[in-house]
């Protein structure tokens, strides 16, 4: 137990350092090639910080722990929005671009609906079993391709856009080393947190579903949270929003799609109500993010809204733990 706690502390140090290096390197590269930080957030940051979720889910699928896999995706997206944006907004209010309000956030909402459609077969198709098949996986991956095509189109459209923030420039080699080194530290840190947190959780008798939804989801989402805070402190709000929204979409379409492509995800009938609630909760949270854009100063995520997100997350965690205890 003491060794596990020590390793988690070291993993946190790696995550903080990795996020700092990654944001600096990615921002420098963006400036050099004429791509805005927001587009970098939607692509490079999203992929880099979602790497832990990808490795954990594919490993879980290969080992047959699909319950852990879907819990990780749902939990990670909830953590991304409520804690990733919530903590960042508490550090400093975040200005969000109009195109993000009307395009990227709605796309994130669509991703939740698509997850519901491919997961809840008994509700939408009248089937006897709820299962995410390889065919469903191809649908999810197709949506991911559409999103990437849109993102690269956005990159072309914004290549001449003026940036309001100061970005420190580094030589190409240093920029690449900072970016790749930061990604490596984020992946290693996330994996260490998951490995040792799961060991602690299982030693305390927690179920795989609860571990996936809480401990693993939190651990694999730490790169997004830490990167968001570091980016806000560096006055890179676009990187924060692009990274969180991009990671949410990446998790829903690419990671869940890849997991189901490796192995069909069969939903335990005893956990159907819980999973249905989690999907609905994620949709409501995404709606909150959209509606917050029109309260007070438009298109700004304010500190009080960040606090509301954090409190909502802990309320959800309390409910998730309590329902698991009741189910057992």
DSSP labels, 291-309? HHTTSSSTTEE-HHHHHHH
* Torsion sign over Cα 79, 81, 86, 91: positive
- Residue 124 CA to residue 117 CA, distance in Å, equals 7
For the packed helices 272-292 and 105-119, what is the interaxial angle rounded to 10 degrees? 170
| pLDDT (tens place) for every residue of the chain, 328 residues total | 788 878 878 887 887 788 778 777 877 887 787 776 667 666 666 666 666 667 767 766 777 766 667 777 888 899 889 988 998 899 888 888 777 778 888 999 999 999 999 999 988 888 888 999 999 999 999 999 998 888 777 655 555 444 444 567 889 999 999 988 988 887 787 677 767 767 776 777 766 666 666 777 777 677 777 777 877 877 777 667 777 888 889 889 998 998 899 888 888 887 788 889 999 999 999 999 999 888 877 888 899 999 999 999 999 988 887 876 655 5
CATH class of 2-327: mainly alpha
Rounded CA gap, 216 and 71, in Å? 9
């Amino acid at each position: 137990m003491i060794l596990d706690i020590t390793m988690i502390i070291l993993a946190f140090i790696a995550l903080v350092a990795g996020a700092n290096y990654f944001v600096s390197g990615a921002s420098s590269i963006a400036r050099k090639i004429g791509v805005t930080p927001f587009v970098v957030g939607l692509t490079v940051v999203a992929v880099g910080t979602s790497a832990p979720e990808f490795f954990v889910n594919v490993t879980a699928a290969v080992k047959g722990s699909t319950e852990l896999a879907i819990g990780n995706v749902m939990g990670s997206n909830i953590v991304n929005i409520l804690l990733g944006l919530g903590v960042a907004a508490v550090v400093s209010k975040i200005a969000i671009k109009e195109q993000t309000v009307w395009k990227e956030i709605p796309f994130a909402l669509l991703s939740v609906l698509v997850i519901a459609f491919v997961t809840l077969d008994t509700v939408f198709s009248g089937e006897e079993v709820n299962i995410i098949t390889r065919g469903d996986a191809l649908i999810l991956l197709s949506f991911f391709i559409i999103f990437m095509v849109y993102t690269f189109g956005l990159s072309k459209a914004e290549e001449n856009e003026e940036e309001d923030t100061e970005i420190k420039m580094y030589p190409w080699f240093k920029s690449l080393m900072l970016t790749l080194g930061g990604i490596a530290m984020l992946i290693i840190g996330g994996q260490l947190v998951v490995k040792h947190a799961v060991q602690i959780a299982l030693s305390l008798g927690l179920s795989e579903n609860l571990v996936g939804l809480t401990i693993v989801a939190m651990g694999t989402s730490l790169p997004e949270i830490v990167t968001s805070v570091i980016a806000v402190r560096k006055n890179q709000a676009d990187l924060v929003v692009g990274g969180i929204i991009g990671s949410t979409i990446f998790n829903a379409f690419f990671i869940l799609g890849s997991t189901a492509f490796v192995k069909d995800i069969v939903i335990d009938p005893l956990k159907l109500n819980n999973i249905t609630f989690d999907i609905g909760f994620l949709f409501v949270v995404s709606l909150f993010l959209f509606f917050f854009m029109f309260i007070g100063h438009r298109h700004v995520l304010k500190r009080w809204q960040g606090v509301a997100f954090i409190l909502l997350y802990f309320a959800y965690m309390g409910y998730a733990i309590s329902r698991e205890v009741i189910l057992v």
